[in-house]
Amino acid sequence: MLSYALRRILQMIPLLFVISLVIYGLTALQPGDPVDQMIFGNPHIRPEDVVRLREAYGADTPWFEKYWTWLTHAMRGDFGYSRDFSIPATQFIFQQRLPNTLLLTVPALILSTLIAIPLGIFSAVRQYSLPDYILTFLSFIASSAPVFWIGVMVLFLFAVWLPQATNGAISLPPGGLGSAGMDPSAGFAAFWGDRLKYMILPVMVLMLREISSTLRYMRASFLDVINQDFVRTARAKGLPNRSVIYKHALRNSLIPIVTILGLSIPGLFSGAVLTETVFSWPGIGRALLDSLVSKDFNVVMVCLMTLAFLTVIFQLITDLLYGLVDPRIRYN
């Protein structure tokens, strides 16, 4: 397994290189450049100042030359500065924005997995029953609806309609990271109790999409397993239904779920772009959208390369986990 993992890691290097080239090229195709963004709405700027700015930022340099400059610096660990925040792009993303995104994605992944797997088993065991039809219908609705629409509906329900219907008895914050003036000096319980209120709605939106996809895959996988010969043999031996389900069928039905969960992690980060925008949550997703609008390309590259790295690394982890879930799989 170690040699297989090393080969896959070596294959990631040219793959990430190609991904960075494609991302940089697509970013360069956007209309306008950072200088246009800087001089927009400034009637007092002089033409010579515009020329000097374009030379300083290399705005007139071909994109592939700028990419080579960016790549050579990135290979030394220098991903450039954020023009909007005047700090290194990596410091802005990994120190200021990544912890906030993890506050949403980690609880959403854990809770959605703990909910979706039992619901998928329940739906498969009671195939074609009323609960099965209801769960299947709701999962298709949740997976088909756009993330921003789900976010707006959740926002309207819990931050607008319910507070009015209950005279403020049930009310959740419509967005943001925390109450104004709230900081860790207020005490652990007070600070995290306040932060938790702001996390509930965005975590709920991320969970709905994850639950819907994991539930459907779990149901289909479990239905395929419980109809196989070894499960019928276990039932014929007189084993209790609970033992047949959780000791024989469950482990064999987890192989597709390992794939889904492995790819859900980078998917949660990419899905957080719209969720964080709807709920004004200052995470990586919101930083990516804001930097695209303001042409802060160094931040864009750090965000997208982080998502690309997470995707390829969790694909490797998923492949390695197959050997733990299914002993028939061997890596030579």
DSSP string, 102-139: HHHHHHHHHHHHHHHHHHHHHHHHTTTSHHHHHHHHHH
Percentage above 70 pLDDT, the chain: 95
Mean predicted confidence (pLDDT) in 244-263: 79
Predicted pLDDT of residue 138: 92
Q: Is the dihedral of CA 282, 287, 291, 293 positive or negative?
A: negative
pLDDT per residue as tens digits for the range 92-105: 999 999 999 999 99
Structure-token pair, residue 252 = 């064999």
**Non-local CB neighbours of 32 within 8 Å, separated by 6+ positions:** 295
pTM of this structure: 0.85
pLDDT per residue as tens digits for the range 277-308: 999 999 998 999 899 888 888 999 999 999 99
Residue 186's alpha-carbon distances to 161, 165, 190, in angstroms, are 31, 32, 6
Q: How confident is the model at residue 270 (pLDDT cuts 50, 70, 90)?
A: confident
- The average confidence (pLDDT) of the chain is 85
pLDDT per residue as tens digits for the range 142-191: 888 888 899 999 999 998 898 888 887 788 888 888 887 777 766 767 77
Predicted pLDDT of residue 326: 67
In the chain, where the domains are located = 2-30+79-147+206-325
Domain 2-30+79-147+206-325 has CATH 3.40.50.300: no
Q: How far apart are CA 309 and CA 285, in angstroms?
A: 15
Predicted pLDDT of residue 174: 87
Q: How far apart are CA 292 and CA 296, in angstroms?
A: 6
Residue 265 near residue 310, CB atoms below 8 Å: yes
Q: Which residues of 313-330 are buried (b: 16+ CB within 10 A; e: fewer)?
A: bbbbebbbbeeeeeeeee
Closest among 312, 320, 295, 329 to 82, alpha carbons compared: 295
Tell me which long-range contacts 32-36 makes (C-beta under 8 A, separation of at least 24): 32/295, 33/57, 33/59, 33/295, 34/59, 34/83, 34/295, 34/296, 34/297, 35/59, 36/295
What count of other Cβ atoms lies within 10 Å of the Cβ of residue 65? Answer: 10
pLDDT over threshold 80, residue 251: no
Closest among 301, 280, 323, 330 to 78, alpha carbons compared: 301
Mean predicted confidence (pLDDT) in 207-221: 90
pLDDT per residue as tens digits for the range 41-56: 677 778 787 777 777 7
